[in-house]
Structure 1
């Protein structure tokens, strides 16, 4: 290493140390830790790749564009977090394995609070296009004890690959909530999931295109399940056989969440007597096991409302 190299290294290290030390007076220990670690990792990245000023400006422009396209119906920052695997890594860190508890996965950008309630056996499709699908299962704790009254929120895209909030007519379709019965059982009619692209007409889509990555998501159905004394679960189930299971653009697939969506020919008797004489349909069974709240973190229950506020 030459003298000039040594001097350059000293200047870069000294700057990182000064910026890190600037947060020493922060009264909040956790915030101080987050900011100082962020500075150290960010500076290490800049130094490792020898970031150019032009590249830095491009990054600023990119993040500015992400902010500009974000509104109350589209969250481009969540998309960015998702495609970088940051969302899934955060989920993994915050949902430590606990016995037989159902695995968590990403929230995604299309959850809407206050979706309509449907009874057990109700239809969440709301007129959305797609093949009918009967979804059923039980909600229990990790010992298999039923959890009566567990709140189950579900949402999904239609057959064209769009969620209701992506339309401009204020429709409510493909989403609802219901409650498990006294035996922890739940059931509803939805749509058989199909693959679809995340919104890719914005800066995140341009980034994916630039690096040769697909915007496609594997077919899935979203769940959020909550009950007093238990860790709130955010998860999906995926369609076995989907060719995108190994290429989901947000890295959300877990092997344990891949389920058999069993095709039923038109005219096959339905569980609730619904008349589908001329329409094929599917059925899937998904048993949900919730971890106790103490498994969420040292502070106890992951509150459902706090999760919603976070998005």
Structure 2
């Protein structure tokens, strides 16, 4: 491409018109991190199924998902604003909207705040106050506790900061019951213990990125063997934790929880033993399998609840 052609394209993208407008809209959509939001929604719907052990009201599901999407998108957009400086240093994040100047910092901040306010208003008006308050609390926790307090200070950032990603199941439960009961907290724990193996596997692959940006992710400050060992420990705790839902579910969920857990643990062990033996490993494959594992567990919750098989019940 000639220099003149490059200049014309840059001008077209920075001036009003179809090309500039499409670029700006795409930038705002990217701020919301739709792939992350998609994962959160996968856990919200099953929580709503389990809360009533039946198909929840479709309209309630719709409002809860829209409100939850707004809340998650708000947190993601504000996170992009606060992390714009380190996003510039990481190959994995260099295409984000603020780094490419596809969206202004002010525009991104306003977008995030407006989405947060809108999520509260929508959830309060169509679901209930508890769900609305939990959604706003999640945004504030993600921004102030994870992004501002933990992320750049401690390798435990994703352990405790990851609690924000566990909240959709609690919001989904609260949407149906207007309470927070023990099954919601168990589902919270499943995602809580899932987050470190999921995130650390990704960070092992992009260790240099995090090191360059000055983010003390565990793979940056610990040896690969220590990281693989921690992934294995959290994976075992996660799989064991899924079994705490057995009193609220049937044999169907239990079967899938055990089989999916064994499948994931096989690959977590393979990563650990590969690192220990000094063999080439592919931590990114464990990252992708962690997404599949979480989907299997939560789809099993939804199917089990929809079928309505007799629950195993509490042993006391």
TM-score range normalised by the length of the shorter chain: under 0.3
Q: Considering only CA atoms, is the larger Rg found in Structure 1 or Structure 2?
A: 1
Report the TM-score when normalising by structure 1.
0.24
Q: Report which of the two has the higher share of strand.
A: 1
Q: Report which of the two has the higher share of helix.
A: 2
Report the TM-score when normalising by structure 2.
0.24
